[in-house]
Every structure is written in structure tokens, then in C-alpha cells.
Structure 1
């Protein structure tokens, strides 16, 4: 999977080459190529959140017919944080 984070001056300290215009142009070219390959149907491009949130959220509500017990299906989690 591919994670793309927008560039900002706040995260410049994490990336030593972020001020280099050649590096920025190379990254933009890579991103443009990825979008092109995605539009051709060769790859599936996914954007991930790097803030630490899990895609699996606990279900805090459900419904059931009157007189029936609530049942929640439990799916397998891919990994534990």
C-alpha cells in the first residue's frame, strides 16, 4: 500500500531533503506516474492515514427486532496496535 502525506513546513525536520527543489520535482513526477498507472487500471492506489487511527472501530450501537437478542458479528483483525 502507498501512503502519501502532503508536504508542509512543519514536517520539514523529518525529511532532510524537503527543501531541495530537485527532490520535490522527482517526488511529484513519481506521484504523477502513480496517478497515471492508477487511471490505466494497472494498480489500485490507496491513501492511508498516518495519525494512528485504526480502520477497525468498535461498534457502540446496534439494533434488533423486539424480543430478539442483539448479535454482533466479530471479524478478524489483521493486526494489533
Structure 2
């Protein structure tokens, strides 16, 4: 993976990994990460294998985010 693509992707990923990320911020940054991967594949900065691995990581982060949201909603205030 091109180093510049990796740096931008890492920065976007860091914005969806926090515990206080709003659903709108998570969705926007998740979509941004997918766009980075699609653009990276289109211009040759990301191989298909690398993109597939990163997409799998995004899916795992989305599942974890959803679990955290459900736990947050079930906790007494």
C-alpha cells in the first residue's frame, strides 16, 4: 500500500475507533475509509488483497461499534 494512502487511511480509522464517536461521525468516517480504499485501488496505490483486508477490518470495527452502542443504550442513566 502506498505510504500516503496508508497515512490518510490510518487517520480516518483513528476517528472511528474512539468510544465517544457519534453515529453520524462513525458513518461519515466509515464511508470515507471505503472511499479511500476504492480510490486507492483505482489509482494503483492499494492492491485488491490489501483492500479486502482493510474492508474486513472496517466490518469488524462496525460490529464492535454497534455492540458498544447497544451496551450504552442498555446501561441505566
Normalising TM by the smaller chain, what interval? 0.3 to 0.5
TM-score by length of 2: 0.37
Q: Judging by fraction of residues, say which structure has more helix.
A: 2
TM-score by length of 1: 0.35
Structure whose CA Rg is larger: 1
